[in-house]
Amino acid sequence: MRHLISPMDFSVEELDDLLVLAKDIEDHPQKYAHACDGKKLATCFYEPSTRTRLSFEAAMLNLGGSVLGFSSADSSSAAKGESVSDTIRVISCYADICAMRHPKEGAPLVASLHATIPVINAGDGGHQHPTQTLTDLLTINNLKGRLDNLTIGLCGDLKFGRTVHSLIRALVRYPGIRFLLISPPELRLPDYIREGVLDQLNIPYEEVVRLEEAMPELDILYMTRVQRERFFNEEDYIRMKDYYILNREKMTLAPDDMLILHPLPRVNEISTEIDDDPRAAYFKQAQYGVYVRMALILTLLGIEV
Ligand code: CP
């Protein structure tokens, strides 16, 4: 039995296979319409979500399966003090696979140790968000045609942004990757990733504060929102929240083929005037999230079509 807790749980070859499968699902959805007949996905979300939970549910429904679950800790027995390990033991009796989001780092890992079904980390605190990474890789691969030899600007809340942490871990395994880390000093990438991953693997990167400085060099600009829910102090959040606002004026500095990605939700960091720029790929990215989660469910359940 396999789980997906970190993007490192899949080898580069397995990731490539997953992306090929996701592309085939996009091109031939009917072929997969009954692949999960009789199977059930549990979505156990202890934290709010729109895309991840609903795209998982859409993915299972598209595969002919069914879904059950809860969308907040308050509506589950966590509110009565039940542990994650007890909850997953019970969910294992009701469903064939589980996607779990939790505000505490490591909770889906704990769940995987007590589960008898595959557990997917759908975001754990400020730590990792591996299925967003699968979505990001599929988007880059489909729209850029490659996952290597790219200069990627990661902009915004690099401290708490779990999508950035997971994406870095996945992309460092491809050749020719260079990062521009664009953040205010207070929200810079944590040491355990900057030193523990980038320095350790000799991955080229620069830390910059001004987005304008980075824009002309980028193949991909990955914008993130400031993660209000992870701040201890509301004043700090208010000071940081509009640090970066991507608008038409800044986009004049970007190459014509640069892609703008964002895991969403967006707050103010991308002006809506950018949405019809052909380089804006963030809504397409959300669509790719369904195909890649369909591919992931099939892979973890060991179903071949
Ligand atoms: N990208 C993402 O995780 O969005 P949700 O929080 O809406 O699931």
pLDDT in tens, 206-251: 999 999 999 999 999 999 999 887 777 888 878 888 889 999 999 9
Compute, in angstroms, the gap from residue 202 CA to the centroid of ligand 1.
Answer: 31
For a substitution probing ligand 1, which of 44, 49, 127 has the most ligand atoms within 8 Å of its CB? 49
Is the link from the previous residue into 265 a cis peptide, with omega within 30 of 0? yes
pLDDT at 126: 86
Q: Whose CA is nearest to atom 3 of ligand 1?
A: 52
CA distance to 210, 242, 276, per residue, from 184 (Å): 8, 11, 28
Atom of ligand 1 nearest to the CA of 50: 7
Compute, in angstroms, the gap from residue 186 CA to the centroid of ligand 1.
Answer: 23
pLDDT at 260: 98
- Which pairs from 230-239 meet CB under 8 Å and 24+ separation? 230/125, 230/126, 230/160, 231/160, 236/186
How sure is the predictor about 67, in pLDDT bands with cuts at 50, 70 and 90?
A: very high
CB 181 within 8 A of CB 188: yes
pLDDT at 153: 98
Section 255-275 average pLDDT: 97
Q: What percent of the chain shows pLDDT beyond 70?
A: 100
Identify the residue whose tokens are 């085939």: 24
Compute, in angstroms, the gap from residue 52 CA to the centroid of ligand 1.
Answer: 5
pLDDT at 32: 98
pLDDT at 208: 97
Q: Whose CA is nearest to atom 4 of ligand 1?
A: 51
pLDDT at 115: 98
Q: What percent of the chain shows pLDDT beyond 90?
A: 93
Indicate whether 120 pLDDT > 90.
yes
pLDDT at 237: 79
Find the residues whose C-beta lies inside 6 A of ligand 1. 49-52, 123, 132, 263-265
Indicate whether 69 pLDDT > 90.
yes
Indicate whether 171 pLDDT > 80.
yes
Which residues are marked as active site? 51-52, 80, 101, 129
Compute, in angstroms, the gap from residue 6 CA to the centroid of ligand 1.
Answer: 17
For a substitution probing ligand 1, which of 50, 57, 101, 134 has the most ligand atoms within 8 Å of its CB? 50
Atom of ligand 1 nearest to the CA of 263: 1
pLDDT at 184: 94
